[in-house]
Amino acid sequence: MSIAVVGLGCLILSDEGVGVHVVRRLAEDYVVPANVDVIDGGTSSTELLDQLVDAEHIVFVDAARTGGAPGTVVELQGDALPVWFRQRMSPHQIGLAELLAMISLLDRAPRASR
């Protein structure tokens, strides 16, 4: 099983970059199994297609406006994470939506984890 953990965010903004910080810490402080790719996605979107198209599972780490308290972890998968969002939750959402749409169009959508 191949897993990609992708951190999204912009380190320039003072309230952002959480995903990038998480994946950097993960790569530096933990022994990551060989089947797990830890990717600093920064503010990239469709540029990540080649790195993600073969992943069976993808975990995106990003800040998102969910209505919950800051720091609340929210898991969205399958139909709960539509390819085209109606409400903007993350500054990287448009690029992320396009990336997920391209992976789906290639008929390579990652599997749900449960």
Residue 89: the pLDDT is 57
Residue 25: the pLDDT is 95
- How many domains, in total, are found in the chain? 1
CATH of residue 85 = 3.40.50.1450
71-96: per-residue pLDDT in tens? 888 887 766 665 544 455 555 555 77
Q: In angstroms, rounded to a whole number, what is the distance separating the alpha carbons of residues 55 and 30?
A: 21
Q: Which residue has the tokens 């903004």?
A: 13
37-73: per-residue pLDDT in tens? 999 988 777 788 888 888 999 898 988 778 889 888 8
Residue 12: the pLDDT is 81
Taking the CA of residue 35 as centre, how many other CA atoms within 13 Å lie in the half-sphere pointing to its CB? Answer: 7
Taking the CA atoms of the chain, what radius of gyration do you get in angstroms?
Answer: 14
- Domain contains 62: yes
- Domain contains 37: yes
User: Which carries the bigger pLDDT value, residue 113 or residue 65?
Assistant: 65
- Domain contains 73: yes
Q: What are phi and psi of 81, to 5 degrees?
A: -115, 80
- Domain contains 113: no
- Domain contains 14: yes
- Domain contains 112: no
Q: Where in the sequence is the domain holding 66, given as residue range(s)?
A: 3-105
Q: In angstroms, rounded to a whole number, what is the distance separating the alpha carbons of residues 108 and 112?
A: 12
